[in-house]
């Protein structure tokens, strides 16, 4: 299960919303969460995809969330969406429904129930693009 790895990727992306410098956070979280080599490879891949395609993902969020532009999305929710969009758009080995479900679960844990519903809806539409 990649749940811990997904949460770790989310936490790193969320932290980057407030501080661009990693300052060893990534490796520290990998160690603290006792991620396997496969988990760290997954996280590294997600982080690289988000870094490379963040503008693309921001455009998707703006398109799909017409009444609530991405600039107003809560940082936690946006970070969750970025992880899921990386999986949906660039990681063919992960089924989209798994990405959507995992994103909703992370939102339920780190944000709100309303956020989980919002995130699920946005991602369900993103799959269609």
Please tell me what DSSP assigns to residue 20. S
Distances in Å between the Cα of 119 and the Cα atoms of 39, 68, 78 are 23, 12, 9
**Total-model pTM:** 0.94
Give the structural domain span for 102: 3-128
Structural domain count of the chain = 1
pLDDT of residue 70: 77
What one-character-per-residue DSSP string does 51-108 give?
A: HHHHHHHHHHHHHH-TTS-GGGS-HHHHHHHHHHHHHHHH-TTS-HHHHHHHHHHHHH
pLDDT of residue 5: 97
pLDDT of residue 105: 96
CATH number of the domain within which 45 lies: 1.10.940.10
Averaged pLDDT of the chain: 94
């Amino acid at each position: 299960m990649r749940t811990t790895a997904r949460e770790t990727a989310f936490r790193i992306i969320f932290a980057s919303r407030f501080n661009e410098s990693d300052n060893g956070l990534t490796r520290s979280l990998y160690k603290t969460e006792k991620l396997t080599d496969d988990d760290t490879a997954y996280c590294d891949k997600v982080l690289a995809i988000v870094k490379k395609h963040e503008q693309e993902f921001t455009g998707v969020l703006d398109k799909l969330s017409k009444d609530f532009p991405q600039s107003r999305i809560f940082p936690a929710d946006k970070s969750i969406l970025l992880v899921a969009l990386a999986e949906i758009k660039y990681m063919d080995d992960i089924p989209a429904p798994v990405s959507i479900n995992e994103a909703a679960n992370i939102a339920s844990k780190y944000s709100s129930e309303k956020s989980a519903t919002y995130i699920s809806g946005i991602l369900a539409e993103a799959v269609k693009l």
